[in-house]
Each structure stands twice: as structure tokens, then as C-alpha cells.
Structure 1
Amino acid sequence: MIVPSNRRTALITGASSGIGLAFAEEYAREGVNLVIVARRNDPLQQLASQLRSKHGIKVQVWAGDLADPETPHRLFNFLSERQIPVDILVNNAGFGVPGNLCEVEWSRHRDTIEVMAAAPVQLCYLFAPAMRERRSGQIINVSSLAALLPPHAGGTLYYPLKSYLAQFSLALRAELKATGVNVCAVCPGFTRTGFQTAAGGTVESVTIPTWVWSQPNDVAVAAIRAVRKNQPICIPGLFNKTVALFFKLMPASIGRMIVGG
């Protein structure tokens, strides 16, 4: 069913590629207006032009780096000044940092924490009150299957941050459950985006069979369905569900041995 484009607006971070791009495409297909956010303006403008032309929706572009602690508030002010309400918030922006903790300069780790932990929480803090007042809204926080698995060396920061985002989503969902605002953490496994290449690749990403990998649009569709049903956690794909269940039932000490933790 196509929803009239003047009734809902989705704000998507990290929208220029990968899962964020897939969210933009899927919401646009439904006639939802968009606010697309990423660091680089040119890919956003190109995407906006394509989606406007193909789906006849309104697309607002906003280029900004969420590693800057002031970016979420600037974005909030930008939309408030233009009286653009946010009905759907998708916190998708993120990246991985290869190498062990003490082998990477601190500024890189600091940026990771800002983008993957501080910014999503601040955006929820800024946009959830209006959703609560309207008694309607949806928040999707893109976590990872990694959040549900034992951490291991090389994922020293990534695993805990994704786990933090998933736990935050559960807590926020409980806080907002009586207000008509749905919150869902989506936990995709290996997905065919540029993420692994940008992060320097991992042994796992090389050895995992082709059939295990998900497509970004499949992840987006699963997450959109899940948040509408007010599901707390969405794990797209049967294989990923099986892996998550396996490690949930497995004693923690054995799980750490399996992943080399």
C-alpha cells in the first residue's frame, strides 16, 4: 500500500550507500518523503535526484559528519527551521576500524564512538519527543549480528558498540511503549555493502560462503516490517537467526572459545 507522501518523512543517516541507501529506496518506493544524511554531498544529491524522479517524493539532502558532536543538533535545527517533521528515524551510519585497540590512533576510535554510539542516542533524544507528542513514530537503530555474539580480538570496539546500540534500543522501546512510538534494533549479519572493504576486510568476510551474505534491500525490508510490528529485535535471514540462537543457548565461555575470544 502506498502512503501519501505528504504524511510521513523518514530521516536516514549513512544514506549514500549500503543498507542506508537500501532504506532510502524502500521508503521512497512506498511514497515516504526522505531526509538523507551522509558525509559526502555529491552521492546524496545524485540519489535524491533519482528518487524524486522515480517516485515523485520530496527528498531533503543534508551533508554532515556525525563524528562531529555538534552535527546531530545542527541537523535538528536545520529541519526545525524548515518545519520538516521526522516520523521515521533510521540510525544507520557506522564504520569499522581494523586492528587492535592500541594499534590505532585515538582520534579514529573517538570518531567511531561518536558515529555509532553518541550520535544515534542524541538523534533519538532530539526527535523522539515530537514523535511522542504526536503519539506516532518509528525508530530503527542499525546494530549488527555482532551485538549478539561473543566479542573477539580485532573487534574490540565494534562488538561492544553494536551491543550498546541494541541494548539502548530495548531500553528506549520500553520507555516509549505507551506513547505509540515503536523502536527496533536490526541486527544484520554479513551484508553485501562496501563496509568490509572500507574496514580493511576480515578473515570472516573472506571465508564466509556466498550464500550466507544478505542483500542490503532485504535487510531494509525486514527492518521496516519489524518496526511496524513493534518487534524489539530484527535479525534478517534464517542463517543469522540460527547463529544468534546458537550463541544464545551456548555457555558464554564456550562461545568465546569458538570465536577465539
Structure 2
Amino acid sequence: MDRKLALVTGASAGIGAAFARILASHGYDLALTARRVERLDAIAEEVRLRYGVETLTVAADLSEPDAPGTILDHLTAHGRTVDCLINNAGYGLPGAYAETRWKEQAAFIQVMVTSPCELAHRVLAGMQQRKFGRIVNVASLAGLVPAAAGHTLYAASKAFLIKFSQSLHLENVPEGVHVTALCPGFTWSEFHDVNGTRALASSSTPAWLWMGADEVAAAGYEAMEANRAVCVPGAPNKAISAIAKAIPDEWALALMASQGGRFRKV
């Protein structure tokens, strides 16, 4: 195949669907994966008709340990290799840590940390060999500011993805492989609907802090092509990140406590 293939996880809505559209607009064939087959098929058909690219869909649950291998085996069976990986799949797990079940937290870690790392590991050698590759790990502003109470592993998982991306970026500068951590703040998507925090997020967060999924994906694509290790889209988010770095940790933690956990939802 002449066209390169982009694999997008969590592609059925939000930032993942937006990435699918922008990658197709730049000539990438697409492999889209998520749990909701109908939504995946609809997006795949939309971009195929609009941009004339080939689309493959793979229904998979990344909380299952064998999911990354199953996804890539499916692509291999169709004679395709991954040139661009968008690790976007994710969700929030509300509640205090002790009030959740470990089974839920273990599945969360599998989706948010283990699966992205495994997918990157599996596709990286081929990218290096071909001297071309693109990896975007969709992290969050939450990984750049002090953690808040609740959603206990969310900010931790996003901070992990940021550090992982930075190291992978440095390792692959001479290999033609671009690695970027995309760190959006509040984004209009189904994220808050799924974890049951839509009403709270909408009522407690000013409109100027929100960005559209298309804006976020466009910023991520630009950063990916420019090979920037970390991308924080939007001026307000950049300011929040800069302030968090500048003030002492104890001040930042006190600020997070005073905000009642607002930033835990991004």
C-alpha cells in the first residue's frame, strides 16, 4: 500500500474520532478501535466516503490484556503495519480510592497505562526500521498539575504517559519517529457523560476553559508533525500548566483542595 496507516484507539467519539478525521484528511488510511462497533463503523464509513481512504475497524476492549495483540494481529492479517499510533482510549473512575474495587482500578491501569505502552512497544521496531513513525499519547493537563482528591489514578496515569512520551521522544529523535504527549484540559466530548460528572463539570467550570475535540486533535496533529514532546493546547491550559510549575508544591496542593477537585475531571 502506498498510503500510511494510522491506528486510533478510543476512536468512536470525542478526540479519537476527531483524530480519525484529521488523519484521513492528510491521506492516512485508518484502523479504528473501540468497544462500540456501530459507532466505529459509522465513523469509518464517513471518512472513507469523504476522503477516499481505506478504513479498518477492530472492536476491542483495552481492559483485556490480550487486546493490543489481537488488534495488531487483525491488521497484520489484512497486510497492514502501523505508521501512526494515536493512544487515545481512556475514561475516568470517580470516587475515593478506598471506596472503589481493586478490579476496577486494575482494569483502569490496563486501559490507561499498560495498553498504550504495549501498543507503542509492538509497533516501534517497525517504525524505526522504516525510519518513519508517529506516536501520540493522549494525556491530560491533569498530569501536569498537582493531583486532586478523587479519580485517584487518573492524574497519575496521565503523568506517567507524559514522562513515558518524553523518554520515548528522546530515544527516537534519530530514528525518524515522532512522539508527542497531548495534554488537553476540559474538552467537549462524552468523557464526562460516561463517568457521570457532566452536570458537575458543566456547572463548576467556566465556558472559556473548554475546548472542542476538533481543536484538540488539530493541535495534537500539528505537534506530532513538528515532533514536540509535549503539547498543551489552548492559552488557558498553557497558563495553568505554567503556574503549576512556578508555585511551590504546598501552595499548589492547597489550591487544588480549595477548588473542590475541579481539575480531577479533565
Q: Same fold (TM over 0.5)?
A: yes
Cα distance per residue 1:48-104 (max 9 Å; x no partner): 111111111100000000000100011111112222121110000000011011111
Paired residues in the alignment total 257
2:86 pairs with 1:90 = yes
Q: CA deviation at 1:41?
A: 0.9
Note the residue ranges of structure 1 that are not aligned, 5 or more in a row.
none
Partner of 1:225: 222
Q: Please tell me the residue identity of whatever aligns with 1:134.
A: R
Partner of 1:177: 173
Whether contact under 8 Å (2:62, 2:111) holds in the other structure is: yes
Whether contact under 8 Å (1:196, 1:205) holds in the other structure is: no
Cα distance per residue 1:114-133 (max 9 Å; x no partner): 00000000000100110000
Whether contact under 8 Å (1:32, 1:57) holds in the other structure is: yes
Partner of 2:160: 164
Q: Please tell me the residue identity of whatever aligns with 1:33.
A: D
Aligned equivalents of 1:150, 1:51: Cα separation in 2 = 38
Aligned equivalents of 1:238, 1:228: Cα separation in 2 = 20
Cα distance per residue 1:185-226 (max 9 Å; x no partner): 000000000101211217455311112200001100101110
Q: Please tell me the residue identity of whatever aligns with 2:241.
A: A
Of 232, 236, 249, which residue of structure 1 is paired with 2:233?
A: 236
Partner of 1:102: 98
Whether contact under 8 Å (1:149, 1:244) holds in the other structure is: yes
Of 46, 50, 61, which residue of structure 1 is paired with 2:46?
A: 50
Partner of 2:264: none
Runs of 4+ off more than 4 Å:
202-205
Q: Please tell me the residue identity of whatever aligns with 2:63.
A: A
Whether contact under 8 Å (1:190, 1:205) holds in the other structure is: no
| TM-score of the two chains, using structure 2 as the length reference | 0.94
Aligned equivalents of 2:173, 2:11: Cα separation in 1 = 27
Q: Please tell me the residue identity of whatever aligns with 2:30.
A: L
Whether contact under 8 Å (2:31, 2:58) holds in the other structure is: yes
Aligned equivalents of 2:203, 2:171: Cα separation in 1 = 40
| TM-score of the two chains, using structure 1 as the length reference | 0.95
Whether contact under 8 Å (1:6, 1:33) holds in the other structure is: no
Whether contact under 8 Å (2:192, 2:201) holds in the other structure is: no
Aligned equivalents of 1:256, 1:205: Cα separation in 2 = 23
Aligned equivalents of 1:65, 1:176: Cα separation in 2 = 29
Of 246, 251, 255, which residue of structure 1 is paired with 2:248?
A: 251
State the SS of the aligned residue for 1:197: helix
Moved more, 236-245 or 74-83: 74-83
Note the residue ranges of structure 2 that are not aligned, 5 or more in a row.
262-266
Q: Please tell me the residue identity of whatever aligns with 1:52.
A: R
Partner of 2:138: 142
Q: CA deviation at 1:140?
A: 0.2
Moved more, 174-183 or 240-249: 174-183
Q: CA deviation at 1:32?
A: 1.3
Cα distance per residue 1:26-62 (max 9 Å; x no partner): 1112221100000111111111111111111100000
* Aligned-pair identity (%): 37
Aligned equivalents of 1:103, 1:205: Cα separation in 2 = 25
RMSD: 1.3
Aligned equivalents of 2:40, 2:78: Cα separation in 1 = 19
Of 188, 192, 197, which residue of structure 2 is paired with 1:196?
A: 192
Of 112, 117, 120, which residue of structure 2 is paired with 1:116?
A: 112
